[in-house]
Structure 1
Amino acid sequence: MAKIKTTYTCKECGAPHPTWEGRCSRCGAWDSLEETVVRKAAGGLGAARAVPVATKTPRQLKNVSAQDSERVRSSFPGWDTVLGEGLVKDSVTILTARPGAGKSTLLLQLAQEYAQKGLKVLYATGEESGSQIRARADRLFTAIHDHIWLLASQDMDEVEAQAHAVDADIIVIDSIQTFRLPEHPQRAGSPVQTVACTEKIMDLCKNPVKKRAALLVGHMTKADEMAGLRTLEHMVDTVLLLEGDPSEELRILRSTKNRFGATGEIGLFEMKQNGLMEVKDPSSYFTTDRKDKGIIGSAKCILREGTRMLVIEIESLVSKSFTPYPMRISENMPRDRLNTLLSVLEERAGIPLGDKNVIVRTTGNIRLTESASDLAVMMSVASSVQKKPLATDTAFVAEVGLTGELKRVSHAKQRVNELHRLGYKTILTADTGHATLKQVMQSVWGRNR
């Protein structure tokens, strides 16, 4: 007879605890322990053990076809690029975002896209009623395709049964934290239920007899991370993040894990009344069209997001501080990195910042993850301090070291070519004869700056 033991598992880090505690002793998260029932088989060392029966025969790796994974493309080039040129049929993808970012809207649009290509789509929702999904579909589409089936249920066994019943090619789960399996006593959303339901979906999708693709919605925590155990991210094939403020139109889709393509790719969308639409001209979101008129505190640079080159505008505001500790604020880059760049600017270029508040942001609120933006950030701040504008057809592309020297960046030639193609006349890099930050400033504003 099986022995039943109750333990408590942290839903943030997965650490087991013999008794309930208000705070996890491993990760320090508060109110994160959930009850877990463990069943242990009775019997000692001499207890009989079942011997597993082989159901699959291994093949030599060289004899496995690399074309076993078929891809399905949509009319959203950004979505296909992020996935690695299309959705792989025997794959499991999870999409996470803040509430209201447009996860359900995007997946419903994709369901219509794939249905129009002749694929059967099962849309399983555990959060909304069928009438709510229908209302959203009526807003998005002029006509709903016949190949979309809707299931409003939180029972994963029922999802599996209906996937077989309609012979679904693509399964949408909205969201994975709302589904449960009856054989587990934990509530929906617990680590045990979430992992078990994901395993069920994986077995369903990776069946060699009938390959399917699954698109899962995952909840996001207040720390802007996917809710639940990190195990969930390891289990699935692709992890996607949809970034964007619900009060704004722009949405950035990026991959943080992809077994079928490169990570770091992004897709750009804007939220309209009739759903998410691909952004055709990114420069309209990340730069301001000021014609030939420069403005104080604004500098341009070019970032590489995956295979895409994006010209962005960096804006700075510098003001006198009336407190002992001036503010250093930026939503687009780590505070430590901003403080480092400001220290180099003060020590190596002689720009006084000790009693100044500094605020840095990007147009479109895109993150500055590349060091290629160092020079543009520093020139933007210097422009704001000295009240001198920078030309709108000038771009800055270089990393700046602690010595104030300019460093070369990756894919420099492609960046420069793209800037030339867009009409930028002056591009200052480590390869244009400027060895230091101070030399760049003298070149732009003259020696008597």
Structure 2
Amino acid sequence: MKKKTLYRCNSCGFESIKWLGKCPTCNNWNTLEEITIEAKNLETRSRQVAKKPLKKLLEIVSNKSDRIVTGINEFDRVMGGGIVKDSISIITARPGAGKSTLLLEISDAVAQKGYKVIYASGEESDSQIKNRADRILNKIHEDIWVLQETSLDNVLDAVEEIDPDIIIIDSIQTFTMESSLPARAGSPTQTMECANALLQMAKNGRRPRAVIIVGQMTKSDELAGLRALEHLVDTVLIIEDDSDEELRVLVSSKNRFGGIENGFFQMGERGIISIDNPSEFFMTKREEGEIVSGSALTVIKEGTRAIITEIESLVSKSFTPYPTRIGETLGKDKLNTLISILEQRGGINLYDKNVIIKTTGGIKIREQGINLAVIMSIVSSVKQQGIESDIAFIADVGLTGELKKVPSLESRIRELERMGFKKVYVPKDSIGKSSNLKKIDIIELKTLMDVINNIYRS
């Protein structure tokens, strides 16, 4: 049998047919070592794929309802309505964010609906998985199969034996295939070889299956491995978390079967729980007529959904030359910009004041539509006069102090109507005459000073 020479990185496992001074994957120098392997015939290294007939796009029948609905509402929303039966998805997050917990709950939910699941783990023993299941599941379903394995060949054999509907691989970087070139688990060669084998299994026209892969995350909070892995899968999911908060945000950065959506979950002792009404979760429940200073309400857009969010602020006297500016869920530069606008255009001096901003529930703010609410929460805290809890603010604020329009304004106001709000402040001429928003008082003003004077009647 012929022998072949390759150069393999002793740091990350990258392979090249020629020597390189610097590894293009891990960027380490002088880590490529020469190795000799036995070249295998193409037939033994790849699975035979049946030739498929050529079809006209016009004649292909699409089945949009061919999904597995888990019943975990926030997960189904992010997936576009459920798990497509012939799809391959990848989910990544930092260690401890709840990947394995969420996938175990998904396994239980689909098993309750009559589907078979194989949960193959290369990181945890079967007893560890069982202990987690005992903690978070009320009753373990008999159609969940667990395989503690690092050989994908053995997993594929188990699939042939059990014939599951969903296969979960945790994590792809721990698995290897004998049919690929000799390489350690987690190397680009093994990862892509395993992913391609799973892809072929998922897209089998005679027996489609849904595959969910766990991918490890790098220190820079990115999916580990080649970018080709993200291109290969249908859906890329990321769990965003803050170690100090219970909130988990499931983000779809890619979805061939739906839009880009976010799902919200709460991590607790009994597992990860879907937050089905985020507008209630991200604002404080108060008694009717109860008013608290330093609080203002707004509406943000997460994917296609409008969510009411409470902005809280605390303004206190500073006894140092440099007052503190803290934005726990808001960028510090953005906070300093809004404070400067308030000082110059709103006539409120904060040069000797500490200002701290956060959101109820710990949701991170990435858009401009909350700027008016942030400023008004600071005004409320400075004046020590609360704003009524049925009033909201939706506008950007320019450096000129003028209120600026924000996208999807009508859908945001409809969410306020649904939650029973009585009044909303928006930029002037931002609501069309054809609008059918009748249940809420829409106050259109031009400048920040107009809003302050209207609220406090000065």
Identity of aligned residues (%): 46
Q: Pick from 54, 62, 66: which aligns with 2:58? A: 62
RMSD: 3.3
Query: Hey, what does 1:266 align to over in structure 2?
Result: 262
SS at match of 1:429: strand
The reply on whether 1:107 has 2:100 as its aligned counterpart is: no
Cross-structure match for 1:46? none
Any residues of structure 2 matched to 1:282-301 within 5 Å, and which?
282-291=278-287, 292-301=289-298
**Contact 1:12 1:228 (C-alpha < 8 Å) held by counterparts:** no
* Residues 400 and 189 of structure 1: CA distance in aligned 2, closer, same or farther (over 3 Å): same
Between stretches 151-160 and 273-282, larger displacement belongs to 273-282
Tell me by how many angstroms 1:281 deviates. Answer: 4.1
Give the structure 1 partner of residue 153 of structure 2: 157
How far 1:203 moved relative to its partner? 1.3
Residue 5 of structure 1 is matched in structure 2 by: 6
Farther off after superposition, 317-326 or 216-225: 317-326
For 1:377 and 1:171, the matched residues in 2 are separated by 45
Equivalent residue number for residue 115 of structure 2: 119
Pick the aligned partner of 1:195 from 167, 192, 196. Answer: 192
Is residue 410 of structure 2 the alignment partner of residue 409 of structure 1? no
Residue aligning to 1:437: 448
* Match of residue 87 from structure 1: 83
Give the Å deviation of 1:37: 7.3
Residues 150, 176 of structure 2: 8 Å contact kept: yes
Separation in 2 of the partners of 1:107 and 1:188? 22
Q: Equivalences for 1:50-449 in 2 at 5 Å?
A: 55-67=51-63, 70-182=66-178, 183-245=180-242, 248-263=245-260, 265-291=261-287, 292-321=289-318, 325-431=322-428, 432-447=443-458
Given that residues 12 and 229 in structure 1 are in contact (C-alpha distance below 8 angstroms), is that contact kept between their aligned partners in structure 2? Answer: no
**Shift in Å, 1:12:** 13
CA distance in 2, matches of 1:37, 1:236: 32
Per-residue deviation, 1:198: 1.4
Matched letter for residue 117 of structure 1:
K
Instruction: Go from structure 1 to structure 2 and tell me whether the alpha carbon gap of 1:142 and 1:383 turns closer, same or farther (over 3 Å shift).
Output: closer
Q: For residues 159-207 of structure 1, what are the alpha-carbon distances to aligned partners after superposition, in whole Å with 9 as ceiling and x for unaligned?
A: 1121122112110011112112233433222333222221121111111
CA distance in 2, matches of 1:241, 1:439: 41
Residue 79 of structure 1 aligns to a residue whose secondary structure is helix
Q: Deviation at 1:323?
A: 5.3
Q: Take 1:10 and 1:391, find their aligned partners in 2: how far apart are those partners?
A: 60
Q: CA deviation at 1:17?
A: 10
Match of 2:437? none
- Residue-by-residue CA offset, 1:78-133 (whole Å, 9 max, x unaligned): 11111001100111111122222221111112112222222221110111111111
Given residue 285 of structure 2, which amino acid in structure 1 is its aligned partner? D
CA pair 39-198 structure 1, distance change in 2 beyond 3 A: farther
Distance in structure 2 (CA, Å) of the matches to 1:398 and 1:143: 48
* Residue type of the alignment partner of 2:169: I
Alpha-carbon shift at residue 242 of structure 1 (Å): 2.1
How far apart are residue 273 of structure 1 and its match? 3.6
SS at match of 2:176: coil
Structure 2's unaligned 5+ residue stretches are 40-47, 429-442
Moved more, 428-437 or 149-158: 428-437
Q: CA deviation at 1:267?
A: 2.3
How many Å apart are 1:212 and its aligned residue? Answer: 0.7
Cα separation, 1, equivalents of 2:93 and 2:390: 36
Q: Which letter maps to 1:443?
A: N
Letter in 2 for 1:5: L
Partner Cα separation in structure 1 for residue 34 and residue 84 of structure 2: 36
CA contact (8 A) 2:7 2:17 kept: no
Compared with structure 1, are the counterparts of its residues 224 and 333 closer, same or farther at alpha carbon in structure 2 (3 Å cutoff)? farther
Contact 1:298–1:315, Cα closer than 8 Å, also in 2 = yes
CA distance in 2, matches of 1:70, 1:228: 31
Find the aligned partners of 2:152 and 2:15 in 1 and give their Cα distance.
Answer: 23
State the TM-score, normalizing by the size of structure 2: 0.84
Instruction: Report the AA paired with residue 7 of structure 2.
Output: T
Cα distance in 2 for partners of 1:443, 1:81 equals 39
Shift of 1:9: 9.6
CA contact (8 A) 1:69 1:90 kept: no
Of 229-238 and 12-21, deviating more is: 12-21
Pick which of 292-301 and 319-328 moved more: 319-328
Contact 1:9/1:15 (8 A) holds in 2:
no
8 A contact 1:4–1:37 mirrored in 2: yes
The answer to whether the 8 A contact 1:14-1:229 is kept is: no
Per-residue Cα deviation, 1:384-403 (whole angstroms, up to 9, x for no partner):
33433222222111122222
Partners in 1 of 2:256 and 2:449 — Cα distance? Answer: 44
CA contact (8 A) 1:111 1:148 kept: yes
Report the AA paired with residue 131 of structure 1. Answer: S
Say which is worse superposed, 366-375 or 344-353, in terms of deviation.
344-353
